[in-house]
Amino acid sequence: MDKTIRKNEICVIGLPRCDFVFSSTRTCFIAYGFKESPLEMSLLRKLLEGRGIQAVEAGGMLAPGQSAFCAKICSKIITAQFCIVILNNEESEGREIPNANVNMEYGLMLGFNKYVIPFQRSTQKLPFNVAGLDTIKYEDREFERLAADAIDQAIAATNQEAIHGVMPMDQLLGTFLLLRRAVFSSVSEQGEKALFEIGQHLGFNLLNDFTGMKYIYFGNFTTLRPEIVLWRIHMLEEFLADRASSLPIKAEVGAVSIAQLDLATRILNQVEIWILVTSDEDKRKISEELQTATISHTFELFSTSDVSTQLIHSGF
């Protein structure tokens, strides 16, 4: 099991590139047969959510215009913190029929050297090629207890914890933002909430500078390809421009006062955009594309090595 954050370079189905980052999200990919394990899935979702881990399953996602295998399965396994597989067989006329899709996804997990929690009902048998792997055999009455223990072990084993005195990545990132004199917005006021929701649709968070007067959209896009990051930047620019253009109309109909109009216009025009990507190469590609684009807001781009460099120079 490898829990290091690193980029997958080679696509397993032969596409030109992959670039998804291993273990880069607080998610758990679950492979299961939709008909065989509904009770187990409801319990797993509850257990994971209670521990701050998002349950991801191929059946719950849409991928319009994309490779379904890439978008719904392979990339989610790569970026997951750990994985769960429920190896329950379909039973028909006294025979057990293994689920081919579930076993294919299990093979991907093992091939990517993921931390995997395998479950199977105690009355069933495993396919010969995985029968030698440690599998949690369960009865319905004990599944929740066994799953809770296994998930706690998985989280402890796969957390990006401090190594040789180094802080975990989320703590490093928070410190980096503080050094940049920025903090996450509380989004407690209605105006801040509206501003946050503009970027939320595209995966941006909202920051304040220390004065509380300047707002920054921060995109932590270390799991995304450069072309997807560029698309999100351009869409955010369009969102902001459209929202700003609607303000005079709202003032005309009395929905906002002149003072509110002036303040909102100033905030929308002066908001900054900060982006974090994985590598210096991704940073270079995005920067080159933006040089020929029209970006109306102040924009800064960082790689994870930029974060490390600034922290080292600041004594962390």
CB atoms within 10 A of CB 250: 14
Torsion, Cα 124 125 127 132, to 10 degrees, reads 130
Residue found under tokens 């273990």: 23
Low-confidence ranges of the chain (pLDDT < 50): 62-65, 162-167
Domains and CATH numbers, the chain: 27-158 (3.40.50.10140), 169-313 (no CATH)
CB atoms within 10 A of CB 237: 17
Instruction: List pLDDT tens digits, range 270-298.
Output: 899 999 998 888 899 999 998 888 888 88
CB contact set of 286 (below 8 Å; sequence gap of 6+): 226, 229, 230, 275, 277, 301
Beta strands 116-121; 95-97: pairing state: unpaired
Burial 18-47 (b: 16+ CB within 10 A, else e): bbbbbbbbbbbbbbbbeebbeebbebbbeb
Q: What is the pLDDT of residue 22?
A: 83
Q: What is the pLDDT of residue 161?
A: 52
Q: What is the pLDDT of residue 64?
A: 47
Q: What is the pLDDT of residue 65?
A: 42
From its phi and psi, is residue 252 left (phi > 0), alpha (psi between -120 and 50) or beta? alpha
Instruction: List pLDDT tens digits, range 164-186.
Output: 444 455 677 888 999 999 998 88
The residues that bridge with 303 in the sheet, in sequence order, are: 277
Name the DSSP letter for residue 69. I
* Residues 150, 136: Cα–Cα separation, whole Å: 9
* Residues 101, 298: Cα–Cα separation, whole Å: 47
CB atoms within 10 A of CB 172: 19
Token output for 283: 């940073």
Q: What is the pLDDT of residue 164?
A: 41
Q: Give this prediction's pTM.
A: 0.56
* In contact, 13 and 75? CB cutoff 8 Å: no
Tell me the C-alpha to C-alpha distance, in Å, between residue 182 and each of 75, 186, 201, 237: 31, 12, 21, 21
Q: What is the pLDDT of residue 170?
A: 63
Burial 125-142 (b: 16+ CB within 10 A, else e): ebeeebeeeebbebeeee
Q: What is the pLDDT of residue 104?
A: 92
Token output for 241: 């421009």
